[in-house]
Amino acid sequence: MVTGGGRGIGRSIAIALQEKGANTFIVDKTQEDLILMKEEFPEINTLCVDLTKWDEVTKAIKDLGHIDLLVNNAGIVIADRPLEYNEPDMDKLFAINVKALVNVTQVVGQGMIEQGKGGAIVNISSNGSKEFIPNVFVYSLTKAAVDNATEMFAVDLGKHHIRVNAVNPTIVKTTDISRPFFELDQTEVVKSKIPLDEFPEIQDVVDVVLYLLSDKAKFINGECILIDGGMHCS
C-alpha cells in the first residue's frame, strides 16, 4: 500500500511495485488522480480517503485486509518565512506529514503482527529533517518527527520481524512537493551545496524504496537514508 499514490513519487513507487508483481493499493484523497491511475494501470487498486480523517482512515485500511508492504508517502509542504509561522499551516503540515503517518502505520503494523509474517515499512522523509533548508521551517520539523517515528516504530515492530526505515531525499525534480522551492527561487541555493551538482530524479528515490522493501534489505531497520548527493557532507 502506498499513501499519496495518485501522483509524484508515490505514483511511481506504486507503478514499480505493481510491475514487480505486488498486489498494489494506492490511497489518495484526490479522486481525479485515482481515476487517471486506474485508466492507465487498471490492475492497481485505489482507495479514496482523506488521511486527516483519523477514524475513517482506520476503518478503510482495516477493510483492505492484510498488507505486507507499506510506503507512507503522503505529505505536503507549505513555504514559510523566518518568524512568520502560523497555527493553521502548522496544523495542516503535522496532520498530514506526521499524524496520518502514525495512524496508518499503527493500523497496518497491527495487521502485520496479527498475520505473523513480518513486513516492511518505508516512510518518505526529507533531508530537511537534517539540513537547513530556507523557508520550510515547519515542514522540516514534521520531517524530523517522521525520522524519530521511524526509529521508534523500528524498535516496537522489529520484534515482530517488521522493518521500518525512511528515505530522505533533497529536492526531487518534477514533483509537486518541490514546486515551492522553485517558486521561491531556492533551488540554486540548495544545489550549490550538493557535491554531485544535480537534483535526484524520482526514479532515484523509487530504487531506494524498492530496495528497503525487499528481502535484500532484510537486516536494515530504523535507518533514515539520505538521497542528497552528499549534501550532508558539504
Q: How many structural domains are present in the chain?
A: 1
Span 12-57, pLDDT tens digits: 999 999 999 999 999 999 999 999 999 999 999 999 999 999 999 9
**53, 143, 173, 191: which is the annotated catalytic residue?**
143
159 is annotated as an active-site residue: no
Phi, psi torsion values for 63, nearest 5 degrees: -70, -20
pLDDT of residue 180: 67
State the cell numbers at 159.
Answer: 520484534
Residue predicted with more confidence, 185 or 188: 188
pLDDT of residue 173: 78
Mean pLDDT of 70-80: 95
Mean pLDDT of the chain: 94
Domain containing 121 equals: 2-233
Cα–Cα distance measured from residue 210 to residue 17, given in angstroms and rounded to the nearest whole number: 8
Q: Is the pLDDT of residue 68 over 70?
A: yes
211 is annotated as an active-site residue: no
**29, 92, 99, 139: which is the annotated catalytic residue?**
139
For the chain, how long is the longest CA-to-CA vector? Answer: 49
Which CATH number belongs to the domain containing residue 159 in this structure?
A: 3.40.50.720
| pTM attached to this predicted model | 0.95
Q: Which helix (H) or strand (E) holds 11?
A: helix 8-19
Q: Is the pLDDT of residue 181 over 70?
A: no
Span 97-149, pLDDT tens digits: 999 999 999 999 999 999 999 999 999 999 999 998 888 999 999 999 999 99
Residues in the chain: 234
- Residue 227: pLDDT band by 50, 70, 90 thresholds? very high
